[in-house]
Chain A
Amino acid sequence: MLTKLANPSTFLRWSGVLLPWLAGLTVVSLGIGLWMAWFVAPADYQQGETIRIMYIHVPAAWLALFLYAMMSASAIGTLVWRHPLADVSQKAAAPIGAAFTLVCLVTGALWGKPMWGTYWVWDARLTSVLVLFLVYAGIIALWRTIEDPSRAARAVAILTLVGALNLPIVKFSVDWWNTLHQPASVFRMDGPTIYPTMLYPLLVMALGVTFLALTMHMYAMRTEVFRRRVRTLSILEAERLDERRAAA
């Protein structure tokens, strides 16, 4: 069943049907999330209105990690099963993950200046997220370096899996080292420490941003399938021209 759904042609068919629904869910959930973040959630007693930055900074950080984890799963699909859609999924996820990591870094800096008095410190959490962004950039560069998509996919898959070692470092950096960044306040063994009036808008925003990332990923995967068909047809056309020239 999964193999049939993951066939590039079948994928184009079912993703074409699913994509508008996913985009609709994104618009609705992001709309509700933004309304809750701006008009329902209260200002923080210490941070005041700057807490509104949290509603984009935290979902962006989660998505930066989620997309990398998804890329790592696709990398395993490339290396173990050599599945064509795994290659496509890897390549499509990289720029989206890089964009969310960049949003996380920029919004973090803009939140840090009024709260910490500085845009940047070289502490473990901030530095490991910067490393994540650089790994994303390296992966995008490697895709562009190797012309043959299948060869590029295998090289990128290895780099992706090596880079995945950074994921637990990002997640647990605030526990392992003494950092300026606060520790986790939502995904904790003893439950969230954030007050429900702020937690629910945050979760709705996270859901909206997740739908957005999935929509973008599916759209980018479709583009990549088209790109590979263009490449295949261009090669076939060039081969036929060569044959004609040789015959003449």
Chain B
Amino acid sequence: MGDPHTPFILASYLATVLVIGGLIARMILDQRAQKRALAELEARGAGRGRRRGEERAAGSPSQATAERPATTERA
């Protein structure tokens, strides 16, 4: 590409990669951190009381950790 405006074109694509790539990297790290925190809380038995309450209410065993709906919050 022998165009005199090549630096502007390359800068545009580079800026896009930096902004979107940076956001994707941040999103991946964020999800990893949340999953780690969730696993640690579960390992400490943080949801034990709630699980017993849910089982009593539903009359059935609770679902797996990551798939279980939250009850004290809206999601």
Interface residues of A, Cβ cutoff 8 Å to B: 7-9, 12-13, 43, 48-50, 52-53, 56-57, 60, 82, 84-85, 87-88, 95-96, 99-100, 102-103, 106-107, 110-111, 113-114, 149-150, 153, 212, 216, 219-220, 222-237, 240
Query: Known contacts being A226-B35, A228-B73, is A236 close to B13, with CB within 8 Å?
Result: no
Interface residues of B, Cβ cutoff 8 Å to A: 1, 3-6, 8-9, 11-13, 15-16, 19-20, 23-24, 27, 30-31, 34-35, 37-38, 41-42, 44, 46-47, 49-50, 63, 66-75
* Selected A-B contacts with CB under 8 Å, 23 pairs: A7-B69, A12-B66, A48-B3, A49-B5, A53-B8, A53-B9, A106-B12, A107-B12, A111-B8, A111-B12, A149-B74, A150-B74, A223-B27, A223-B34, A224-B75, A226-B31, A227-B34, A229-B68, A230-B37, A232-B47, A233-B46, A237-B41, A237-B44
Q: Check if A228 sits within 8 Å of B75, measured CB to CB.
A: yes
CB-CB nearest in chain A for B64: A9
- A8 to chain B: which residues have CB within 8 Å? 69-70, 75
Q: How far is the CB of B26 from chain A (nearest CB, A)?
A: 8
> A-B contact count, CB below 8 Å?
133
Of A57, A219, A232, the contact of B27 (CB 8 Å cutoff):
A219
- A9 to chain B: which residues have CB within 8 Å? 63, 67-69
Q: Check if B49 sits within 8 Å of A52, measured CB to CB.
A: no
Q: Check if A110 sits within 8 Å of B8, measured CB to CB.
A: yes
Of B44, B63, B73, the contact of A231 (CB 8 Å cutoff):
B73
Q: CA–CA, A220 to B31, complex, Å?
A: 8
Q: How far is the CB of B33 from chain A (nearest CB, A)?
A: 9
With A111-B8, A230-B34 given, can you name 4 additional A-B contacts, CB distance below 8 Å?
Answer: A7-B69, A49-B9, A233-B38, A240-B49
Q: CA–CA, A242 to B67, complex, Å?
A: 27
Q: Check if A236 sits within 8 Å of B47, measured CB to CB.
A: yes
